[in-house]
Structure 1
Amino acid sequence: MNLSQPWTVESFGLCFASLNDSCIKTVYSPVLRAPLYLLFTITIILIVFGNLWVICTISFFQQLHTPTNYLIVSMAVSDLLLGAFVMPPSMIRSLETCWYFGDFFCKFHSGTDFTLCNTSVLHLTFISIDRYYAVCQPLQYHSRMTTHVSVFMILVSWGFSAFFGFGIIFSELKIESQKSEEVHIACKGGCLALHGREIGVTYSIVFYFLPMFIIVSIYSRIFVIAQKHVCVINNYPTSSSSVTKKDLKATKTLAIVIGVFMSCWTPYFMCNIIDPVVNHTIPALLYEVLMWVAYLNAMFNPLIYAFFYSWFRGKSKLLYQKLFKLC
């Protein structure tokens, strides 16, 4: 996007005209802002209601209360909170190029953003472990992946993420040793969030690339074993295979969830790795664009469940009919 185009940038000003220490504001043309506000608003609505529907569908039917689905519900709660509480202020900050909600809410908003991002990564890590036992050690699956274990995984995901998310923000920990000038500028109307250069290479490696490496390694092992089970099931349909087609399909679908997550988030984290190498010359606008690409992941998961889980479509239809009758 070329900021020199007249239809893109209308003028430059101050976030707070009455303050001497106000941040500089970029005023985008209404031709650009209006459709983006509409697009972001529609995205937020789809994220909130899509994930709320996932939560309600699984929660309403007792037969769907499984350890795997508990993790799916918890991750849907994370995506729901992202859409409801993080994305609306982020939308205003991105399009108005100013933060109008105060310093404390800036820190709280950034801490929440950290927490929800970390929560999603940890949930996907635990889901990959769940799928490993379901496919690679099916005879031990029900004894090892119990409801209590699933709840423990959920508590660890949220607790660990909140501790580090809010801890990093409110302690004002500086992860990088060298900062760009942008980070040091203290002005009214600015708010450097999770998707900013201050989170650094260390955070990207420890909290994203390392878990993703673990997840990919586990799933690589899963699919090697899964191919063997598929051959057995196809060649000997009446054999007493300990892995069912349902388990294999669930593993494939959750692999798609992980693949979509990586597609959405990896470009942003790659920028964090590259930015120090190129002396922090990556444009701030590119960070904003990649931030919203990452946010889109929260909208895709309910769509994946709807397209690839027949049980989800069936139960969703049944839930809709029940709610329709009540109305």
Structure 2
Amino acid sequence: MSSNSSPTAAVQLCYEHLNGSCVKTPYSPASRVILYMVYGFGGVLAVFGNLLVMTAILHFKQLHSPTNFLIASLACTDFVLGVTVMPFSMVRSVENCWYFGQSFCALHTCCDVAFCYSSLFHLCFISIDRYIAVTDPLVYPTKFTVSVSCICISISWILPITYSGAVFYTGANENGLEELSSALNCVGGCQIVINQNWVLVHFLSFFIPTFVMLILYCNIFLVARQQAKKIENISSKRESSSDSYKSRVAKRERKAAKTLGITVIAFMISWLPYSIDSLIDAFMGFITLAYIYEICCWCTYYNSAMNPLIYALFYPWFRKAIKVIVSGGVFKNGSASMNLFSE
């Protein structure tokens, strides 16, 4: 997931004293500061937000469950992306040059694609987990066990890393585009071209999990509403004056709907621009401007930064755990056994 530096403004070069240096299109000082702040905030949020989530789940015994292990693995994926990919992408995006060498360019691209799709697969498995929990709660503990969670985690890590390494380290992504790749190969650039076949594979790798998530979340929403109505009906039959109870049920329903809505909307906003742009770009001769491509890339990065807020910090027990971590309470004896679900 790397961009092309625009060659239209031949004012500066990435390496002024080297022949064959890429052309640099600099931003104004004010624009650079703003971009560094925006990109840097996403990186800091991805690193420290996901680090808090991992610490909370691993430290507090009450959070040791198959579902939370899957969430912790998601946080680990986004944390690694924030540490190994986003800082270098930030420099590339703002400076319009790659100063870290061609060997690291290939590794950076491989890690970029692998960790982004690993995060996507985690989100898909989480939606499957929540679908089973809502639609079949009685047998859910026997269906989604620690072993099943470990299998989901393994698939979410191994498949994207294997796929990314196989595509970019074998050069399969450049088949049929050798001349274009050679023309873009200048000193200070990290231009990765992807042919139409692999762009289709990329798009399907995004579309299929996304389609599964949308279907499952729609079903979850419908089932949650039906269950809330049943609870409300049962309560009204037992107690004639149950307005307060109905209010609590309605509040939980609205909260569940809000959570699902935020999850789907944030994911779609983050991933759709890059996926659509990559597909169109490959079939239209790579016409996307560099800054537009960078915006699309950072939208996907920001999804990893938002995941802690959507999947963890939204819930009261996670907020309580993070307060304990930030205040240093985790260093006290017995903190791992404290009750996070008490009011």
Q: Which amino acid aligns with 2:227?
A: H
Residues 1:208 and 2:206 aligned together: yes
Check conservation: 2:270, 2:299, Cα contact below 8 A.
yes
| 2:80 equivalent to 1:81 | yes
TM-score, with structure 2 as normaliser: 0.81
Structure with the bigger RCO (C-alpha within 8 Å, sep 6+) is 2
Match of 2:230 in 1: 232
Q: Which region of structure 1 is more displaced relative to structure 2, 17-26 or 50-59? A: 17-26
Contact 1:25 1:97 in 2 (8 A): yes
Aligned-partner Cα distance in 2 for 1:215–1:132: 10
Deviation at 1:46? 2.1
- Report matched runs for 1:10-159 at 5 Å: 12-159=11-158
Cα drift, residue 316 of structure 1 = 1.9
| 2:271 partner amino acid | W
Query: CA distance change for structure 1 residues 183 and 292 in 2, over 3 Å: closer, same or farther?
Result: farther
1:262 counterpart = 2:264: no
The match for 2:325 among 296, 319, 322 is: 319
CA distance in 1, matches of 2:313, 2:326: 17
Residue deviations 1:55-111 (CA, integer Å, cap 9, x gap): 111211111111111111111111111111101111111111111111111111111
- Out of 252, 277, 289, the residue aligned to residue 271 of structure 1 is 277
Distance 1:155 1:44 in 2: 25
Distance change >3 Å, CA 247–CA 143, structure 1 → 2: farther
Counterpart CA distance in 2 for 1:13 and 1:123 is: 42
Q: Deviations over 1:113-147 (max 9, x none)?
A: 01111101111111111112101122221111001
Aligned residue pairs: how many? 313
Q: What is the one-letter code of the residue matched to 1:232?
A: K
Cα distance per residue 1:245-299 (max 9 Å; x no partner): 8997678636633431221111111112222454432222210111112211122
Contact 2:312 2:318 in 1 (8 A): yes
Amino acid at match of 1:280: F
For 1:282, the equivalent position in structure 2 comes to 288
Letter in 1 for 2:305: M
- Between 129-138 and 197-206, report the one with greater CA deviation: 197-206
Q: 1:272 to 1:35 in 2, by over 3 A?
A: same
Q: Partner amino acid for 2:26?
A: V
Residue of structure 1 equivalent to 2:216: 218
Q: Distance between the aligned counterparts of 1:254 and 1:192, measured in 2? A: 37
1:296 corresponding residue in structure 2: 302
Equivalents in 1 of 2:125, 2:235: separation in Å?
31
SS in 1 for 2:287: coil
The answer as to whether partners of 2:73 and 2:153 remain within 8 angstroms in 1 is: yes
* In structure 2, C-alpha distance between the alignment counterparts of 1:168 and 1:209, rounded to whole Å: 19
Give 2:240's aligned residue: none
* Structure with max Cα Rg: 2
Task: Tell me the C-alpha RMSD between the 2 structures.
Answer: 3.0
Distance 1:238 1:313, change over 3 A: farther
The 8 Å contact of residues 136 and 222 in structure 1, kept in 2 or not, is answered as yes
Q: Which amino acid aligns with 2:307?
A: N
Asked if structure 1 preserves the Cα contact closer than 8 Å seen for 2:119 and 2:304, the reply is no
Determine the structure 2 residue equivalent to 1:242.
none
How far apart are the structure 1 equivalents of 2:317 and 2:179?
A: 50
Identity %: 39
Q: 1:224 to 1:306 in 2, by over 3 A?
A: closer
* Local SS of the residue matching 2:85: helix
Distance of 1:231 and 1:14 partners within structure 2: 65
